[in-house]
Chains A and B, each alone.
Chain A
Amino acid sequence: MDGPMRVLVTGGSGLVGRAIERVVKEGEGREGEEWIFLSSKDANLLSPEETKAVFEKHRPTHVIHLAAMVGGLFRNMRQNLDFWRSNVFINDNVLQAAHDSGVVKVVSCLSTCIFPDKTTYPIDETMIHNGPPHESNFGYAYAKRMIDVQNRAFFQQFNRRYTAVIPTNVFGCHDNFNIEDGHVLPGLIHKTYIAKKEGKPLVVWGSGRPLRQFIYSLDLARLFVWVLREYDEVEPIILSVGEEDELSIKDAADAVVEALEFTGDVIYDTSKADGQFKKTASNAKLRKYLPDFKFTPFREAIKETCDWFVANYDTARK
């Protein structure tokens, strides 16, 4: 490739896109590089024509593909068809337009929730296709898995090195803080904020015992930029804190309570489902490449996210 990168980030206005935008501005960007952050207002990537047009307009050399139809557990369970169809076509449109316009590298975003439901732990990058995903979100999960299939097919047929990353539970600024539709950490932050404001107990769904690996969006962003520049495999790479840094939901609730200085009661509502007890992912491959990468300490990341939420409550997605 001649000259600096021109990077198109699809889904640029979401949690991860905004984090990448921030780390690029704060030092990860290099001289002459151009970073273009797309949102769904710029192009409906479900349309092959609109997708092609946006590639013709921006002429990217590199793509970070974050755009997806996403939603919480309950919406997924009701709309597996929409999640399957929308995501398979967004992905096909982006990957094909990238190929047709000669993009050197695409890094797409998968998720550990697409891994087999019945599996041994920790999961690693070789296990993605070893059984069906959880029934609740199979439409979304299969569509994401098919990114990996398509990447392998592009490599086999055209020698393209398009790849994907697999983050664990991402959280940070610009998350979806909707209590019903969002993920566990932003949901907890929103609930704790409301409990403090209204002087009521914080009710956490489930026992608090399930374990999760949380990754701060700014750490993920730095790793995305590294993958875009340096990671040369087609096989995806898990981007996660180590297995030893797995935390329980109670640990997370405690950190949120501390950050928001909530002093009321915390109640664990065990009539609600715990979800999967653990989804432990191995970050051995990442550590082989980046043995010295430092993740932001969890409580510090939580504090920054809570502060952001309080300061942006009126405009945050909730």
Chain B
Amino acid sequence: MTILVIAEHDNKVLAPATLNTVAAAAKIGGDIHVLVAGQGAGAVAEAAAKIAGVSKVLNADNAAYAHQLPENVAPLVAELGKGYSHILAAATSNGKNILPRVAAALDVDQISEIISVESADTFKRPIYAGNAIATVQSNAAVKVITVRATGFDPVAAVGGSASVESVAAAHDAAISSFVGEELAKSDRPELTAAKIVVSGGRGMQNGDNFKHLYALADKLGAAVGASRAAVDAGFVPNDMQVGQTGKIVAPQLYIAVGISGAIQHLAGMKDSKVIVAINKDEEAPIFQVADYGLVADLFEAIPELEKLV
């Protein structure tokens, strides 16, 4: 059994989610190869070769793969993937974009966002916004899977000494092209990898008031998240959204401020180790999952908490 893991990267840096994906591959068992598809991503391939447990890195360097366009990357993965028992990628926006296309090319169903490996063909995944956990078994020759990073502890980024091989295969479907991107810039830790997350909801009232959360987060070394209500109201950009349709986080500490706790929000954070809720409404559903609840006006509680940290 040999497993192909698709590296998540931006041509410069290997994303941490790759380490969680390799951890899932290690649970399945077998040789682990990592594919780096990109342009000028030599440093990423070098970093992938150092991951503990990886035996080979395939470096596909081509202008067609520069922006991870699925029309070009999926045929590459499908072609290389035929010889593997499993193809894994992190359930990031890239992984979700590319892998179903790979599965269709191989004529197999894809398994989305697994949270545990039961055996080489059996996996657990959440359905209905995390309100049920399904155990699914695949009879496909190649199992194509996306991995929910928070379900697996990352493997060590160093300690491995895999060989790096170049892959010549160039697939350019020439039916799509990259135009541009607008990435949010922040000095705070990345939301999905942060140890502490402070999130604000509709109760923040406006975008300016998020400065209170930023101040608290900076003292805690935390990332800042948001509920859908806060995003829809334009308080913060959508890449901060935590929930069924946003990001899935499972930090050591999640502080929900002015968030009622709708099913769709809980789907994104209820695996956090400790949950704190600060809300004026003592009936808010968030208190049913919170380890520590404080019924208080957030505009008084947050500055006070910030002073105490």
Question: Is chain B a partner of chain A in the same complex?
Answer: no
